[in-house]
Amino acid sequence: MKIAATMRAMCLALIAVMASSTPSSADSGYIHLTIYKAGWIIGGSGGGGTLDFHGRVYDLTTGGIDYGLVFGGSKTELSGRVRNISRPSDVEGVYVAGGAGLALGRGARAIILTNQNGAVLELTGRQVGLMANLDLSGLAISID
């Protein structure tokens, strides 16, 4: 448990440092995502969420593919800030991450992702399920 708390503190510190270097011309909003993931060698994910930007709420759809060592299934709830956007459509695109993880039951998650438009997602949340992975994953986000 101490390792998880230490990792969470390090991720939050990294987010704080990155947030202080945000360009003044860019804007930010808040995002919430629910992602369901399952796989055996090749995995897939899907889900949805919302983007709150300038007082309006936009519905989002997510989907993705994982390739590598993927086993199990999980549900992940992530919330946080999206920065470096000028309009809601800047959130749309593909976010790629390589990683390793193991979730047995409940676990905390923190992740920072960037898409081709320069949008930066700073997300934290909880993952529930049984999932082991050592893979390259892609997550596509689109506005409904």
The domain segmentation of the chain, as residue ranges, is 2-143
Residue listed under structure tokens 């997300």: 123
Average confidence score pLDDT of the chain = 80
**Beta strand pairing status for 56-85 and 93-114?**
unpaired
Residue listed under structure tokens 């986000």: 141
Q: How far apart are CA 2 and CA 40, in angstroms?
A: 30
The least confident of 80-84, 93-97, 112-116, 134-138 is 134-138
Burial class (CB in 10 A: 0-12, 13-18, 19+), 70: buried
pLDDT score at 17: 46
pLDDT at 113 over 70: yes
pLDDT at 23 over 80: no
Please report which confidence band the pLDDT of residue 30 belongs to, taking 50, 70 and 90 as the band edges: very high
Q: How far apart are CA 37 and CA 62, in angstroms?
A: 11
Please report which confidence band the pLDDT of residue 4 belongs to, taking 50, 70 and 90 as the band edges: low
